[in-house]
Amino acid sequence: MNEEPPSRLELLRFARRVVVRQAKAALAQIDRWIAVEQTREAERRQGLAARPPAPQWLLERGLSGHDPVYVHVGGCWNAGKRSKGLERDEARRALADGVKPCPQCRPDSALGILD
């Protein structure tokens, strides 16, 4: 029962062991986070590489989903969510059939079809 309290040197060595153990655990956690983020980034890059090319021409349909409303140049900022990709000949045919060209991107000019 006459045990002496630990010396300052012993306490400091104990504190160092605790900090080293905590630092190792923290580093291990950070390494796990890095590995997860590397996997996410690789999957993102793979998804971008596998993405099909954007269509050069778009046909926008009306609210009914059946009636064509506009022909757009691919990537037009004004193309609605109900747009689907077209080939060049299909876009020319749609314009010839009376579908209106988008007034912003002017696909009729890009296709060489003018009124």
Read off the pLDDT of residues 39-63 as tens digits, 9 standing for 90 and up.
999 999 999 999 988 899 999 998 8
| Domain shared by 26 and 61, yes or no | no
Buried b / exposed e across 57-94, counting CB within 10 Å, b at 16+? bbbbbeeeeeebbbbbbbebeebeeebeebeeeebbeb
| Domain shared by 27 and 65, yes or no | no
Question: What 3-state class would DSSP assign to 101?
Answer: strand
| Domain shared by 68 and 104, yes or no | yes
| Domain shared by 36 and 21, yes or no | yes
Cα distance between residue 63 and residue 67, in whole Å: 8
Count the domains in the chain. 2
Mean pLDDT (the chain, rounded): 92
Read off the pLDDT of residues 62-113 as tens digits, 9 standing for 90 and up.
888 789 999 999 989 998 889 999 999 999 999 999 999 999 999 988 888 7
Whole-model pTM: value is 0.59
User: Which domain range does residue 7 map to?
Assistant: 1-51
- How is residue 62 written in tokens? 């009306």
